[in-house]
Amino acid sequence: MNWLLLQLADSSFPAGAFAHSNGLEAALQHGELQGTGVAGFEKYLGELLWQTGHGALVLASQAHRRPEIIGELDALCEVFLSNHIANRASRVQGRTFLATCERSFSSEKIVALAAGIRGSGLHEHFAPVFGAALEALGVELPAMQRLLLHGTLRGVISAAIRLGVFGPYQAQRVQAAAGPTLDAVLAHCSGLAIDELAQTAPLIDLMQANHDQLYSRLFQS
């Protein structure tokens, strides 16, 4: 199982996350982080991780516990992601992640899950797909939760490097320093019920919603 987790966490696993900046590109162009340096990015990162804990982590955890209700969770995610950019990105990443798992692993449960999701005409939002897929692969709930938070952290730090916020060495320092925040998010959010799903970073959501109107764009979201 440790080898599987390392494979899923590796940047070479083609899950589609690196085409997205989690709203960072829009925040930079709107001047939200202008002149704030690393401290400004770390504040942004903290808000993003807490939003992930109260949003995607709740949906993924519920899908892992009860994969049979993925249709309900997918519909709930469709409504919850009212920001059309985040909604679109979630659907693209969900489809990409599910297809990659189906093609990469010889698991009858994954094949059945993918067939059921596509046969039901779901939106295939990332969070519920991620939770259900990792349950099908035999990944335990705490490991799935850590993997989801790690993926969010890794993705936005990679975006920050490509957007010129800082270089790769500073990025590693920022990632290492994020450990206590990850622990706090996990401790507070890992057991949240589905009716506790919440949007805790409205400014990030608003800025990301303007992504398609940016003068130039490196990322899809």
Predicted confidence (pLDDT) per residue in 153-177, tens digit: 999 999 999 999 999 999 999 999 9
With cut-offs at 50, 70 and 90, classify the pLDDT of residue 37: confident
Percent of the chain with pLDDT over 90: 80
- pLDDT tops 90 at residue 87: yes
Supply the CATH number for residue 41's domain: 1.10.4190
Q: What is the pLDDT of residue 46?
A: 96
Residues of 114-138 as b/e, b for ≥16 C-beta within 10 angstroms? beebeeeebbbbbbbbbbbbbbbbe
Question: What is the average pLDDT across 138-144?
Answer: 96
Instruction: Decide if 17 contacts 155 (C-beta within 8 A).
Output: yes
Q: In whole angstroms, what is the distance from residue 196 CA to residue 178 CA?
A: 24
**What's this model's pTM, rounded to 2 decimal places?**
0.94
Q: In whole angstroms, what is the distance from residue 49 CA to residue 137 CA?
A: 25
Sign of CA dihedral 39, 45, 51, 57: negative
Backbone φ and ψ of 139, nearest 5°? -80, 130
CA angle, 189 then 191 then 195, to 5°: 85
- pLDDT tops 90 at residue 32: no
Number of domains observed in the structure of the chain: 1
The CA-to-CA distance between both ends of the chain, in Å, stands at 32
Domain range for 57 is 18-24+36-208
Tell me whether residue 5 is in a domain: no
Q: How high is the mean pLDDT of the chain?
A: 93
Q: What is the pLDDT of residue 1?
A: 61
Q: What is the separation of C-alpha 183 from the centre of its chain, rounded to a whole number of angstroms? A: 17
- pLDDT tops 90 at residue 31: no
Q: Token pair for residue 55? A: 């949003």
Predicted confidence (pLDDT) per residue in 63-86, tens digit: 999 999 999 999 999 999 999 999
Q: In whole angstroms, what is the distance from residue 198 CA to residue 39 CA?
A: 25
Tell me whether residue 98 is in a domain: yes
Tell me whether residue 213 is in a domain: no
With cut-offs at 50, 70 and 90, classify the pLDDT of residue 150: very high
Tell me whether residue 114 is in a domain: yes
DSSP designation for 173? H
Q: What is the pLDDT of residue 17?
A: 74
Task: Specify the range with the lowest mean pLDDT, choosing from 47-56, 105-114, 181-190.
Answer: 105-114
Tell me whether residue 197 is in a domain: yes
